[in-house]
Amino acid sequence: MSEDILLIVIKVAVLIVILLTVVAYTVYVERRIMARMQSRIGPNRVGPFGLLQPLADILKLIFKEDLTPAGADKVTYFLAPALAAITGLAAFAVIPFGNTIDLFGIKVNLFIADINVGLLYLFAMSSLAVYGIVLAGWSSNNKYSLLGGVRSSAQMISYELPLGLALVSVVLAAGSLSLGDIVKAQANLWFIVQQPLSFVIYFICAIAETNRAPFDLPEAETELIAGYHTEYSSLKWALFFLAEYMAVITVSATAVTIFFGGWQGPFLPGWLWFVIKLSGFIFFFTWMRATLPRLRFDQLMRLGWKVLLPLAALNLVVIAGLVAAMGG
């Protein structure tokens, strides 16, 4: 038993280190790819090919002055970024990123916890993340922050529903809420082939969930300066940054797990397949950011409530009917 706990603690520690590194390099890769798309060069000064740029950025952020605006609600102002970052990291705990491997004679499962309500947990964490943003917007004593916070709460709540419905249809087909079981259910056929519509709905909502272009309204820099994190600086700002990219990685990882067969793939080891698929998604996020203009607040709401939600509900009904008809 104590060995198990030790193993879990080690896994958590290793995973956090890996995730933080991945976030740092996601930023680097995004900047390089965007630069290439926009006929620029991108970061290439620090280290070979600019590979040490993330390290330089982090160091810079640590040494920046940490400001709290006059009139801010100090406790909330302090807690908001922590909340955003913690939920972002915690969500990753249930995602299986590889098959069981043999390490020094011990069988190690490549996920932290395969709980039987994994998907529900994932929802819970992403819903909690919105509090970080709302509280940050509210506590900053800045009108732009407030507007950003209001926007993001409205946006995340509206998109949570179709997102959930899209995933429920997968749950119906797989017959389990556990992400490990959902991956195993795709051994023969990925769910993207079986339920393309669910995937499209999921992915659109996921972009809105993560506040990324073209749904990056809460921090639309040309309208609200920096939205909810206008007043944040130094490490607090870095935590929001971390949370945003963690969210990108988490929704991408979820998409890989639920629709693209997770870590399964021929020839290569499971974790490598996982990384390859994940990179594809992150590239896609970057690509969209470099290409698309931003939607307006009301248009975003309209899309969420009038298009995606009915579509997701219809999709769910059809899938449920099919599952019942096939004697599921």
Could you give the string, one character per residue 107-146, with x where binding to other proteins holds by CB under 8 A and - elsewhere?
Answer: ----------------------------------xxxx--
Q: Which of residues 33-92 bind other proteins (CB under 8 A)?
A: 37-40, 70-71
State the CB neighbour count (10 A cutoff) for residue 278.
22
Alpha carbons 65 and 233: distance in angstroms, whole number: 7
Between the alpha carbon of residue 119 and those of residues 127, 208, 254, the distances in Å are: 12, 18, 9
Q: Are 159 and 209 in contact (CB under 8 A)?
A: yes
Q: Which of 222, 266, 325, 327 binds other proteins (CB under 8 A)?
A: 222
Tell me the site size for other proteins, rule CB under 8 A. Answer: 33
Minimum CB separation from other proteins for residue 146, in Å?
8
Three-state SS for 126? helix
Tokens for 265, please give them. 């793939």
Minimum CB separation from other proteins for residue 160, in Å?
21
Three-state SS for 56? helix
Minimum CB separation from other proteins for residue 35, in Å?
9
Tokens for 306, please give them. 């009038």
Q: Based on CB atoms, which residue is closest to other proteins, 144 or 281?
A: 144
- Interface with other proteins by CB under 8 A: which range of 18-26, 102-110, 197-205, 285-293? 285-293
Minimum CB separation from other proteins for residue 290, in Å?
5
Q: Which of 29, 290, 320, 323 binds other proteins (CB under 8 A)?
A: 290
Burial 91-130 (b: 16+ CB within 10 A, else e): bbbbbbbbbeeeeeeeeeebbbbbbeebbebbbebbebbb
Q: Are 262 and 96 in contact (CB under 8 A)?
A: yes
Q: Based on CB atoms, which residue is closest to other proteins, 45 or 143?
A: 143
Q: Which of 21, 100, 116, 299 binds other proteins (CB under 8 A)?
A: 299
Q: Are 134 and 143 in contact (CB under 8 A)?
A: no
Q: Based on CB atoms, which residue is closest to other proteins, 25 or 297?
A: 297
- Interface with other proteins by CB under 8 A: which range of 4-12, 264-272, 290-298, 320-328? 290-298
Which amino acid would we find at residue 75?
A: V
Q: Which of residues 176-215 bind other proteins (CB under 8 A)?
A: 213-214
Between the alpha carbon of residue 109 and those of residues 131, 229, 232, 271, the distances in Å are: 32, 38, 39, 11
Q: Which of residues 231-270 bind other proteins (CB under 8 A)?
A: none
Q: Which of 216, 251, 277, 319 binds other proteins (CB under 8 A)?
A: 216
Element (H, E) at 116: none
- Interface with other proteins by CB under 8 A: which range of 94-102, 104-112, 122-130, 287-295? 287-295
- By CB under 8 A, is residue 288 in contact with other proteins? no
Positions in the binding site for other proteins (CB under 8 A): 37-40, 70-71, 141-144, 147, 151, 213-214, 216-217, 220-225, 289-299
